[in-house]
Amino acid sequence: MFQEIAAQIAFSPSFPYLATALGITSIGGLLGWGWWQRKNTYKSLELLPCPPKHWLLGNLPQVLAAVKQKKFFQLLFDWSKQLGPIYVLWINPPVLVLSQPKVIENTIVNGIKDGSLGRCKQLRQVFNDLAGAPVLIGENGTEWQWRRKAWNPQFNSSGLSKYFEIINLACEQVIARLLQDAPQTEVKVDFLFVELTMRVIFCLVVGIPVDGKSSSSEGPPLDILKAHEAMSIIGYRVLRLFAGEKIWMKYLPTKASRDYWRAMAYLEGLIGPRVELALKMRAQNPTNWGQVSPNFQESMLVKIAAKEPKYTRKTLIAEAIEILIAGTDTTAHTLSFAVAELALNARVFQKAQAVVDQSWQSNGGINTESLKKLTYISAIIKETLRLYSVASGSTSLEAEGETVIEGNLIPRGTIISWSILGAGRDPEVYGNPEEFWPERWLDQGKGSSPLPMITFGSGSHRCLGEHLAMVEATVMLAMLLRYFDWELVNGRSSVEQLEQNLLIYPSDGMPVRFKPRDLQCIEETY
């Protein structure tokens, strides 16, 4: 009987309409069930403020629109000003956004320490797919620990002291080019600094000569334009994955996929031969490799390969690409904003030049000892990072179980993120937060606790390259102050018209007009 009824329904003229209605009802039921389940799971978060949201899609439309307009970090900052230091974005899963420095710092440190928070699973998948193999930033627990242990000595202060000569040479090359070209033309310093940081990081990590002229038998030469384009393509793919693109879509016959594979082929062709050589040197006695250049023998790649046997060709290439990308644009954009703020703040500019001139007079230039005395220049870099927070969106955490943050019950699966722009402008921590005042970093400790510096992260996962970035930026800025005066071609709009993807950067490339100083007159003054 049931078969007969089913047959009658199937052959009825109204069957297609009935099937469609049933399909829509089923989909609606599944969506409704999913919505109810999420609402019940994250019920405690409804007590927190949130931006106005769509009844079904939550805050997803606003987030996607901000990513497309390259204004996502500005949106988080604006919401922080409107909603306070802790609020919720209703996407799937919900995101808890923090914007107070101490709260961010304590949440990261304590959460990772007690295991209540871990790196977001989705972001780990994204970063581990960055170059097709697991990398440091995409791992947790023991898989993270052995990688971090291998790289730590290469980036700590004692490890970098012997690389000072490389950093100094790269900065001197920038000065020489500006002395030759600057009087006749405007210079977009953002890409000038990108070239600087690329030459330094490629020399330190894979041993490519920093001067760009010396030949290297270990592999192809560095083509700045091609390498930066390739790294930018990979970085943009990460942004698309953050915004919802699926990892498997890189296999589709689209322009974005073709660009990605072309970028990966270039970087693997540049790095691969050097990785293979480093692994051969690991397997044999390094003293028998006299034909290998000193630069390569001293590179991080050779030392990491020798120290950590778990690295294979594939994972070492992926790790090198991760470090090279992380060590390029971040420091370059920070230098651009520092140059801009000095041009816009005559008092700070004059004081900084006086500090550099005095150091130069005492030491005949910049060396590892005089660098320690350039605390005011380092304070300028820190103040720049506070205001612009170039690397504002590189990571987030996920609640591994129910936890409590600032007295609020946070359900398992909630993503914990932060507005670094908002944290850097917290008036309770940084007095007159919109003012560019480097002295705030020198005055700390006089009866007050140190100011939080969370741009580099916090706890055991704090940025690996923090010391390198500070040394590189301090040396370059000090040299510019010694040899030039300058002004912004576009004025304040250069620091107001910004773009934001994974990083924050000047959309106009930061055009600057440099004027060489009369050093003979300055030396006579001292």
CB 526 within 8 A of CB 357: yes
Determine which of 124-128, 214-218, 306-310 has the lowest per-residue pLDDT on average: 214-218
From CA 286, how far away is CA 305, in angstroms rounded? 12
Res. 182 pLDDT band, cuts 50 70 90: low
159 to 24, 164, 206, 262, 453: CA distances (angstroms): 63, 10, 16, 34, 22
- In sequence order, the β-bridge partners of residue 86 are 98
Share of the chain above pLDDT 70, in %: 88
From CA 306, how far away is CA 284, in angstroms rounded? 10
Q: How many CA atoms lie within 13 A of 12 on its CB side?
A: 13
What is the pLDDT, as a whole number, of residue 122? 83
Q: Is the pLDDT of residue 447 over 70?
A: no
- 239-267 tens-digit pLDDT: 778 777 889 999 999 999 999 999 999 99
CA gyration radius, the chain: 26
CB 120 within 8 A of CB 436: no
Query: pLDDT higher for 179 or 68?
Result: 179
Quote the distance between the C-alpha of residue 133 and its chain's center.
19
469: its two tokens: 């970035």
Q: What would the mean pLDDT of 384-405 be, rounded to a whole number?
A: 87
Quote the distance between the C-alpha of residue 136 and its chain's center.
14
- In sequence order, the β-bridge partners of residue 504 are 500
Residue 167's nearest CA partner among 481, 406, 467 is: 467
Q: What would the mean pLDDT of 215-231 be, rounded to a whole number?
A: 91
What is the pLDDT, as a whole number, of residue 445? 56
Strand pairing category for 484-488 and 117-119:
unpaired
Q: Is the pLDDT of residue 284 over 50?
A: yes
What is the pLDDT, as a whole number, of residue 12? 47
What is the pLDDT, as a whole number, of residue 2? 37
What is the pLDDT, as a whole number, of residue 263? 96
- In sequence order, the β-bridge partners of residue 515 are 485
What is the pLDDT, as a whole number, of residue 525? 64
163: its two tokens: 């690389």
What is the pLDDT, as a whole number, of residue 140? 86
Q: Using a cut of 0.85, tell me whether the model's pTM lies above it.
A: yes
Q: Is the pLDDT of residue 498 over 70?
A: yes
Res. 490 pLDDT band, cuts 50 70 90: very high
- In sequence order, the β-bridge partners of residue 319 are none
Query: pLDDT higher for 180 or 87?
Result: 87
**Sign of the alpha-carbon dihedral angle for 81, 83, 88, 91:** negative
Q: Report the amino acid identity of residue 490.
A: N
CB 197 within 8 A of CB 331: yes
Q: What would the mean pLDDT of 445-451 be, rounded to a whole number?
A: 67
Q: Is the pLDDT of residue 5 over 90?
A: no
What is the pLDDT, as a whole number, of residue 17? 43
- 310-358 tens-digit pLDDT: 999 999 999 999 999 999 999 999 999 999 999 999 999 999 999 999 9
Q: What would the mean pLDDT of 74-101 be, rounded to a whole number?
A: 94
Other CB atoms within 10 A of residue 92 CB = 14
Dihedrals phi, psi of 162, to nearest 5 degrees: -80, -10
Q: What would the mean pLDDT of 53-75 be, rounded to a whole number?
A: 89
Strand order in the sheet with 484-488: 187-188, 511-516, 484-488
Which H/E stretch holds residue 420?
A: helix 420-424
333: its two tokens: 């954009």
What is the pLDDT, as a whole number, of residue 4? 44
- 414-433 tens-digit pLDDT: 999 999 999 999 999 999 99
Q: Is the pLDDT of residue 81 over 50?
A: yes
- In sequence order, the β-bridge partners of residue 499 are 505
Of the segments 191-195, 241-245, 499-503, which one has the largest average pLDDT value?
A: 191-195
Q: What would the mean pLDDT of 478-492 be, rounded to a whole number?
A: 96
Which H/E stretch holds residue 269?
A: helix 255-283
40: its two tokens: 């019940």
Query: pLDDT higher for 17 or 380?
Result: 380
Q: Any idea of the CA torsion for 325, 229, 472, 305, to the nearest 10 degrees?
A: 40
Query: 257-261, long-range: CB within 8 Å, 24+ apart, which pairs?
Result: 259/233, 260/233, 260/234
